[in-house]
Each structure stands twice: as structure tokens, then as C-alpha cells.
Amino acid sequence: MSTPARAFDAVLWDMDGTLVDTEPYWMRSEIALMDSYGLHWDESLGELMVGNTLLRSAEILGEHGLPLTPARTVEILLDGVVAQVREHVPFRPGALELLADLRSADVPCALVTMSYRRLAEAVVAACEPGTFTALITGDEVSAGKPDPEPYLAGADAVGVAPGACAALEDSLPGLHSAVAAGTRAVGIPHIVPLPQLEGAVLVDSLAGMTTERLSDLLSR
């Protein structure tokens, strides 16, 4: 009996909120930075940042009174988050297990994140060597999510057509990017709810997810 064809040939992973739960790290860094200038920031306001490019997130802090350039704000926030990641990488439930299963099935994976390379490399360093074939980062694309460029670059980096790539995302801008790029998009809500979006499927969690189950999900 022949084995059913897999629904994808590669998997493109978002990072913050999908692979790792760094949102609390970003929140701590944002609150600390705003507090250093006597400005208020809290978790409710922090939801404005989810899924944005780092420069756009920095602009939002500026709109709330932070008197720094967006570029300077990004570097300060990155310093805080990278320091926390180097102490502990908070992987999301099921993420490492799915990565291991994909690796055993010889499915290439790329990380497609709007975080900058130095943070992405700190996260990847905590994974098994060879887990990710490529890194696409926010400081190396001309247009960030929800533009399709990041996921198009991810597909190109693993040498697989976008339509043969599964894309895992926790944010609406990320899902829009993945769908616009023509990938097989999967939404895993985390900090904020995700609506039903044409061209994407939603799951509650990656806990218990395997290569076979992901293929079955995308074959329905």
C-alpha cells in the first residue's frame, strides 16, 4: 500500500508567540523602558504590539510619549529580550516535539520572524543543531508582515514553492502574510484571538501535533 502524499514539503515557523513565548519578555522590556521615562505601559497596551514589525512597535511606544527614535527603541528592547532568552528559552507547548518529528521525517524548516537576527539566533541556539535550514528576520527584509515578502523569502530559502509550505503563526498580521504568500497557513492563537481567515486553518495548540497530524489538518 502506498503512503499518502504529505500536504507540505517544508514548514515555515513564526517565532514570537508560536515557537517561543517571548511576549512576557517583550512586555517586561517595554514596561521598564517606558517607566524609565516616567511613562505608563501595561499588558493591555502591549497587545497593540503583537504581530507588528519591531520598528512599528517602537513607533507605537513613541506615540505614547517615548522620546527616542524607533531605531534606538528597538535596540534597547532587543537588549532586554535577548538577555532574558539567554537565561531561559520559553518554548511553546508542543513546539520542540513537532520540530523533532519534522526533523526525523526530513522536512526542512525555516524561521520567519519579524524579530531581528541576534534574537532569532539566540532562540535557535537552544534548538538541536540543524533544526532550521534558514532564518528570515525582520532586519533583513524590505517589508515585514503582513506583507508576503517574509514568507516568500522563507519558501525560497528552503527551495520549496510557497504552496508546498506549511506556515505556523500566532498573529493576524502573520497569518495575512502567510496567506498572501500562498502558503498553507495554520493559526495557533496565543496572546490575542484569531478570526477565521480564508486560506488559513486554526488549531488551539501545537501540543500533540506531529508531522502526520499537521498533514492531515492541511489535507481536509
Mean pLDDT of the chain: 94
pTM score, whole prediction:
0.89
Mind listing the domains of the chain with CATH numbers? 10-21+91-219 (3.40.50.1000), 23-87 (1.10.150)
- Residue 56 binned pLDDT confidence (cut-offs 50, 70, 90): very high
Predicted local confidence at residue 51, as pLDDT = 72
Predicted local confidence at residue 3, as pLDDT = 52
Which residue(s) pair with 201 in the sheet?
Answer: 186
Condensed to tens digits (0 to 9), the pLDDT of residues 177-219 reads 999 999 999 999 988 889 999 999 999 999 999 999 999 999 9
Q: Which residues of 118-138 are buried (b: 16+ CB within 10 A; e: fewer)?
A: ebbebbbeebeeebbbbbbbb
d(CA 58, CA 74): 6
> How remote is the C-alpha of 75 from its chain's centroid?
19
d(CA 17, CA 23): 7
Q: Identify whether the C-beta of residue 37 lies closer than 8 Å to the C-beta of residue 66.
A: yes
Condensed to tens digits (0 to 9), the pLDDT of residues 59-111 reads 999 999 999 999 999 999 999 999 999 999 999 999 999 999 999 999 999 99
**% of residues, the chain, pLDDT over 70:** 98
- Is residue 1 pLDDT above 50, yes or no? no
